[in-house]
């Protein structure tokens, strides 16, 4: 049995379900029509409905920030509230922030390009530049919570959430922090959506009002999930799950690596956390079956996500925990649809 | 070559060593080229006006980037290419097909990544720009692309990740890679940073009025800002146990590392440099050394009015107990600020200081900021023993990182 490392004691999210502290009530979603930018015909995605961050977290100032930064601040506040932590009682120099993202602050990066297109590179608007850097969300989370510990942003193709959780647990394990706010997420912008569309990656469900159908392509989503991670036993509180260990690889020998991590045990439940692209979904299911040796106890990605087919692994985890899975060892598994994989080993109370 | 005498008694399973370093800098390819150029006092900063109409300033560019061998069919950004060439240089004659390299990880920092490939027209109509050939160019945009490019090029298939902490990114990549090795997540880690010059960053820093049109003067009272450069540096990191098992040449020991955040402002450093001072203190605590043991600090030293004052305050706090002023220089005065690559390139210079016993001065430092705690290195290269050297990095968003390198002298009591 791999030793337990860290407890997930708080959950917060800003997702198409809205801003929420704690678990997410079961509720199937349908994609919504995109109206934030001009489209040639119906285009759909799972979108975060606009909301005023200060109405969720009083006092929060998010003007001129990328939505990713604003959501990260909201989600982290909700997670800390859910964990019952009074940060004023914590040593803030021992509070780490680890943020995982695939694309970073795409919205303000596009705004900076817009400024260059409109005025030329020699007369760009200065405000989107620093706020468009990939680490801006993590630094705003640190600023808002006065978290002066390690502040890390990781970018990882398909596994940003998993790698953020693994890095955060590593910081705790090596005594570099007492508490970690772990986040992962992305925003959907016109340039991102159009890239998926021109690349031919989108599901037919993006272009019509029909219910979600399995088939080719995926439906993009957006949002930020946040977890509070602390050494198990640091406080006498309930934990949603305990993180034991994790591995990810760009192109590795998945079965061998994961079995090595499991140390001979077979998890009672395997949660598939890949995005909704059929190749990733099927390869994750196949890998889950190979690891567990059975098809029972496998929570498929789309069912776990109740309709959200492209979202961070942390949100998949929150949704899976919201389904009140049985206690025992759980494996959160993702594949990239190529040869990449990520696996997180958790103990569910 | 190795001259320090601070003996390290350690557990070889928990000691992280540097067994390869690859560099692409404005001086050319390789550490020797960088070292020779800097020791000669050559400054690579030169007037530039070819990035976009209206830009006039000083930059340090890499010219004559060597072609890639066995290149795949992907479109690579300039940051990708710089990283791939540096990584190839770092792994040297390691067996590409060996299990060790195949199962290793790649942590690469970049602030630009594929932004250099994207035109402003993308903002007006992304779909049309993609259909005109932008699709493949935009595929290099994600920060993780640089690590993937290195991994694909060298057949490194373990964990790959981009580390983003603005200008402290590559120092953090090295620190986090060390954590991964201690966790047993990979047998070896390639870690570093790469950034190319491009209109996006030049325009961004210009819009913030952070650029000095002339070659920068870090820590000088008349400093006016920074210059941008480009380059890449990649480290091969592994445990001492593993390095010894394969008879690898140990170039340096990563004795301590730390990361903190100012939690003060999104672009400005904390005025008193407290976050950075904490970071240096924590790195020294990990290395189990005091300020007196540090023989040289390679500073972040951008040359901006705010950074250099805060950083000087940080040295005064971190080295308050030291008996003599701490020798400090900023090597950004040679080849500018290479953003995501800066921390790794400057870590290479810290290793050169330890290995050669040579402290590089800050160029153009005529009238330094007054500080009783700092010995500003200027003028000639100073020759003296450097048992331990520290490389300090900081960045937008309040990120701080400190790395401490020592030589490969090990005590008889090591495990």
Pair type for strands A269-272 and A151-155: unpaired
CA distance B351 to chain A (A): 24
What pLDDT band is residue A3 in, cutting at 50, 70 and 90? Answer: low
Residue A142 in contact with partner chain B when CB distance is under 8 A: yes
d(CA B314, CA B320): 10
pLDDT mean across residues, chain A: 90
Give one word for A209, left, alpha or beta, with left for phi > 0 and alpha for psi -120 to 50.
Answer: alpha
Helical spans, DSSP H, in chain A: 53-56, 67-83, 106-119, 128-131, 136-145, 160-173, 190-198, 254-262, 278-292, 301-304, 313-322
Query: What average pLDDT does this structure show over B19-35?
Result: 97
- Say yes or no for a CB contact (<8 Å) between B120 and A110: no
d(CA B227, CA B201): 11
Cite the residue boundaries of each domain of chain B with CATH code 3.40.47.10. 16-245, 257-406
- Say yes or no for a CB contact (<8 Å) between A191 and B267: no
* Closest residue, chain B, to A97 (C-alpha): B261
Least confidently predicted of A4-8, A72-76, A107-111:
A4-8
User: Cβ of A163: how many Cβ atoms within 10 Å?
Assistant: 28
Q: At what angle do helices A160-173 and A313-322 cross, to 10 degrees?
A: 80
| Active-site residue, from B44, B167, B216, B338 | B167
Helical spans, DSSP H, in B92-208: 99-102, 126-129, 135-138, 145-154, 169-182, 199-207
Query: Is-contact A72 A99, C-beta < 8 A?
Result: yes
Q: Which two tokens stand for residue B388?
A: 């331990």
Least confidently predicted of A84-88, A230-234, A262-266:
A262-266
From B148, B202, B267, residue closest to A250, measured CB to CB: B148
From B118, B158, B396, residue closest to A130, measured CB to CB: B396
Residue A43 in contact with partner chain B when CB distance is under 8 A: no
Contact list in B for residue A134 (CB cut-off 8 A) is 111, 143, 162, 164
Q: Is the pLDDT of residue A296 over 80?
A: no
d(CA B297, CA B46): 26
What pLDDT band is residue A324 in, cutting at 50, 70 and 90? Answer: confident
Interface of B with A in 109-128 (CB under 8 A): 111, 115, 118-124, 126-127
| Active-site residue, from B44, B216, B300, B338 | B300
pLDDT at A290: 87
Interface of A with B in 180-219 (CB under 8 A): 190-191, 194-195, 197-199
Pair type for strands A179-186 and A95-101: parallel
Residue B53 in contact with partner chain A when CB distance is under 8 A: yes
The CA R_g of chain B, rounded to the nearest whole Å, is: 20
- Say yes or no for a CB contact (<8 Å) between B158 and A139: no
d(CA B142, CA B283): 31
| Active-site residue, from B43, B198, B337, B338 | B337
Summarize pLDDT for B221-254 with one digit per residue, the tens: 999 999 999 999 999 999 999 999 999 999 999 9
From A124, A134, A194, residue closest to B130, measured CB to CB: A194
Least confidently predicted of A286-290, B203-207, B242-246, B372-376:
A286-290
- Say yes or no for a CB contact (<8 Å) between A151 and B203: no
3-state SS, residue A36: coil
Q: Which residues contact A320 (CB under 8 A, 6 or more apart)?
A: A271, A273, A299, A304, A330, A332
* Closest residue, chain A, to B263 (C-alpha): A143
Summarize pLDDT for B384-406 with one digit per residue, the tens: 999 999 999 999 999 999 999 99
Please give the ipTM for the structure prediction. 0.95
Query: Is-contact B149 B83, C-beta < 8 A?
Result: yes
Residues A187-204: b if buried by 16+ CB within 10 A, e if exposed:
bbbbbbbbbbbbeebbbe
3-state SS, residue A263: coil
Interface of A with B in 287-306 (CB under 8 A): none
Q: Which of B99, B143, B155 to mutate to test the interface with A (most CBs of A within 10 A)?
A: B143
Residue B100 in contact with partner chain A when CB distance is under 8 A: no
Q: Is the pLDDT of residue A301 over 70?
A: no
Q: Which fold has domain A6-240?
A: Peroxisomal Thiolase; Chain A, domain 1 (3.40.47)
What pLDDT band is residue B411 in, cutting at 50, 70 and 90? Answer: very low
Phi, psi of B56 (to 5 degrees): -135, 120
Summarize pLDDT for B284-322 with one digit per residue, the tens: 999 999 999 999 999 999 999 999 999 999 999 999 999
d(CA A148, CA A167): 17
Distances (CA, A) of A20 to A271, A323, B61, B310: 22, 16, 48, 39
Q: Is the pLDDT of residue A160 over 80?
A: yes
d(CA A217, CA A197): 10
Q: Which fold has domain B16-245?
A: Peroxisomal Thiolase; Chain A, domain 1 (3.40.47)
Q: Is the pLDDT of residue B28 over 90?
A: yes
Q: Which residues contact A52 (CB under 8 A, 6 or more apart)?
A: none
Query: What average pLDDT does this structure show over B216-223?
Result: 98
Q: Is the pLDDT of residue B107 over 90?
A: yes
Q: Is the pLDDT of residue B57 over 60?
A: yes
Query: Is-contact A250 B148, C-beta < 8 A?
Result: yes
pLDDT at A2: 43
- Say yes or no for a CB contact (<8 Å) between B397 and A142: yes
d(CA B165, CA B394): 8
Q: Which of B50, B112, B149, B159 to mutate to test the interface with A (most CBs of A within 10 A)?
A: B159
* Closest residue, chain B, to A342 (C-alpha): B159
- Minimal CA–CA distance to B399: which of A166, A90, A165, A147? A147
Distances (CA, A) of A31 to A44, A46, B242, B325: 6, 5, 51, 63
pLDDT at B4: 39
d(CA A64, CA B190): 36
3-state SS, residue B252: strand
Summarize pLDDT for B133-167 with one digit per residue, the tens: 999 999 999 999 999 999 999 999 899 999 999 99
CA dihedral A199→B115→A99→B238, nearest 10 degrees, is 100
Distances (CA, A) of B207 to A7, A37, A129, B76, B198: 44, 27, 8, 28, 14
- Minimal CA–CA distance to B21: which of B336, B347, B241? B347
Q: Which two tokens stand for residue A167?
A: 């890095």
User: Cβ of B53: how many Cβ atoms within 10 Å?
Assistant: 9
- Say yes or no for a CB contact (<8 Å) between A114 and B120: yes
* Closest residue, chain A, to B136 (C-alpha): A199
pLDDT at A304: 55
Summarize pLDDT for A174-220 with one digit per residue, the tens: 999 999 999 999 999 999 999 999 999 898 889 998 877 666 788 89
Cite the residue boundaries of each domain of chain A with CATH code 3.40.47.10. 6-240, 243-348
Interface of A with B in 232-291 (CB under 8 A): 247-252
CA distance A36 to chain B (A): 14
d(CA B143, CA B145): 5
Q: Is the pLDDT of residue A137 over 70?
A: yes
d(CA B200, CA A124): 10
- Say yes or no for a CB contact (<8 Å) between A170 and B180: yes
Pair type for strands A298-299 and B388-395: unpaired
CA dihedral B4→B9→B15→B21, nearest 10 degrees, is 10
Q: Which two tokens stand for residue A21?
A: 């502290």
The fraction of chain A above a pLDDT of 90, given in percent, is 66
Q: Which fold has domain A243-348?
A: Peroxisomal Thiolase; Chain A, domain 1 (3.40.47)
pLDDT at A252: 73
pLDDT at B163: 97
Query: Is-contact B236 B91, C-beta < 8 A?
Result: yes
The fraction of chain A above a pLDDT of 70, given in percent, is 93
Contact list in B for residue A113 (CB cut-off 8 A) is 118-120, 122-123, 200
pLDDT mean across residues, chain B: 92
CATH of segment(s) B257-406:
3.40.47.10
- Say yes or no for a CB contact (<8 Å) between B179 and A171: yes
* Closest residue, chain A, to B395 (C-alpha): A135
pLDDT at A279: 66
Query: Is-contact A13 A316, C-beta < 8 A?
Result: no
Element (H, E) at A223: strand A223-231
Q: Is the pLDDT of residue A310 over 70?
A: no
CA distance B121 to chain A (A): 6
d(CA A328, CA A326): 7
Phi, psi of A4 (to 5 degrees): -70, 135
3-state SS, residue B377: coil
Annotated active-site residue B265? The verdict is: no
Least confidently predicted of A319-323, B107-111, B386-390:
A319-323
Helix, strand, coil shares of chain A as percentages rounded to 5? Answer: 35, 25, 40
């Amino acid at each position: 049995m791999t030793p337990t490392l860290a407890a997930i004691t708080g959950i917060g999210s800003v997702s198409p379900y809205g801003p929420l502290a704690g678990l997410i009530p079961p509720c199937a979603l349908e994609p919504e029509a995109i109206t934030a930018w001009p489209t040639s015909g119906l285009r759909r995605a799972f979108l975060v409905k606009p909301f005023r961050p200060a109405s969720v977290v009083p006092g929060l100032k998010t003007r001129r920030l990328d939505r990713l930064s604003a959501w990260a601040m909201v989600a982290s506040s909700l997670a800390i509230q859910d964990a019952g932590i009074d940060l004023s009682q914590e040593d803030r120099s021992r509070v780490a922030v680890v943020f995982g993202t695939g694309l970073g602050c795409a919205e303000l990066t596009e705004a900076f390009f817009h400024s260059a297109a409109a005025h030329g590179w020699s007369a760009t608007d200065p405000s989107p530049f620093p706020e468009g850097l990939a680490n801006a969300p993590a630094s705003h989370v640190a600023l808002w919570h006065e978290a002066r510990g390690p502040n890390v942003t990781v970018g990882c193709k398909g596994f940003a959430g998993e790698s953020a959780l693994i890095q955060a647990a590593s910081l705790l394990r090596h005594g570099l922090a007492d508490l970690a706010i772990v986040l992962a997420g992305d925003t959907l912008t016109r340039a991102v959506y159009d890239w998926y569309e021109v690349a031919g990656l989108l599901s037919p469900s993006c272009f019509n009002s029909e219910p979600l159908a399995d088939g080719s392509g995926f439906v993009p989503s957006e949002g930020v999930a946040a977890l509070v991670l602390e050494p198990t036993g640091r406080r006498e509180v309930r934990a949603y799950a305990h993180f034991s260990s994790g591995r990810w690889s760009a192109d590795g020998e998945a079965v061998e690596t994961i079995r090595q991590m499991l140390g001979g045990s077979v998890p009672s439940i395997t949660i598939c956390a890949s995005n909704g692209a059929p190749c990733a979904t099927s390869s994750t299911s196949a890998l889950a079956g190979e690891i567990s040796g059975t098809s029972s106890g496998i929570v498929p990605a789309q069912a776990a996500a109740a309709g959200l087919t492209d979202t961070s692994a942390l949100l998949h985890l929150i949704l899976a925990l919201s389904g009140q899975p049985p206690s025992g060892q759980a494996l959160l598994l993702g594949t990239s649809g190529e040869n990449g994989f990520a696996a997180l080993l958790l103990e569910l109370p | 070559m190795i001259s320090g005498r601070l003996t390290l008694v350690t557990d070889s399973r928990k000691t992280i060593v540097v067994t390869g370093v690859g560099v692409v800098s404005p001086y050319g390819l390789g550490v020797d080229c960088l070292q020779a150029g800097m020791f000669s006092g050559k400054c690579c900063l030169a007037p530039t006006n070819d990035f976009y109409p209206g830009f006039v300033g000083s930059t340090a560019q890499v010219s004559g980037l060597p072609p890639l061998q066995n290149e795949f069919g992907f479109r690579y950004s300039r940051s990708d290419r710089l990283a791939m060439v540096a990584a190839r240089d770092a792994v040297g004659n390691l067996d590409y097909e060996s299990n060790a390299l195949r199962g290793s990880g790649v942590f690469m920092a970049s602030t630009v990544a594929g932004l250099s490939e994207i035109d402003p027209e993308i903002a007006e109509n992304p779909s049309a720009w993609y259909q005109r050939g932008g699709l493949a160019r935009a595929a290099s945009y994600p920060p993780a692309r640089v690590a993937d490019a290195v991994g694909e090029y060298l057949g490194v298939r373990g964990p790959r990740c981009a580390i983003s902490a603005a200008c402290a990114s590559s120092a953090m990549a090295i620190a986090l890679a060390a954590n991964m090795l201690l966790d047993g997540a990979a047998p070896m880690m390639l870690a570093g940073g790469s950034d190319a010059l491009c209109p996006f960053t030049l325009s961004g820093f210009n819009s913030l009025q952070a650029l000095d049109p002339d070659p920068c003067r870090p820590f000088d009272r008349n400093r006016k800002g920074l210059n941008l450069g480009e380059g890449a540096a990649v480290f091969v990191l592994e445990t001492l146990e593993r390095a010894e098992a394969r008879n690898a040449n140990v170039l340096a020991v990563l004795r301590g590392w730390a990361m903190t955040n100012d939690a003060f402002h999104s672009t400005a450093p904390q005025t008193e440099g407290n976050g950075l001072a904490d970071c240096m203190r924590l790195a020294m605590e990990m290395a189990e050394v005091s300020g007196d043991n540090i023989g040289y600090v390679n500073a972040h030293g951008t040359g901006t009015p705010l950074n250099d004052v805060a950083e000087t305050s940080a040295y005064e706090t971190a080295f308050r107990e030291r008996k003599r002023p701490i020798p400090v220089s900023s090597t950004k005065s040679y080849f500018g600020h290479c953003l995501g690559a800066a921390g790794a390139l400057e870590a290479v210079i810290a290793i050169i200081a330890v290995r050669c016993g040579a402290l590089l001065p800050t160029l153009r430092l005529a009238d330094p900021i007054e500080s009783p705690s700092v010995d500003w290195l200027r003028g000639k290269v100073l020759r003296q023993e450097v048992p331990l050297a520290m490389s300090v990095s900081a960045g937008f968003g309040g990120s701080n990182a400190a790395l401490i390198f020592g030589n490969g002298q090990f005590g008889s009591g090591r495990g």
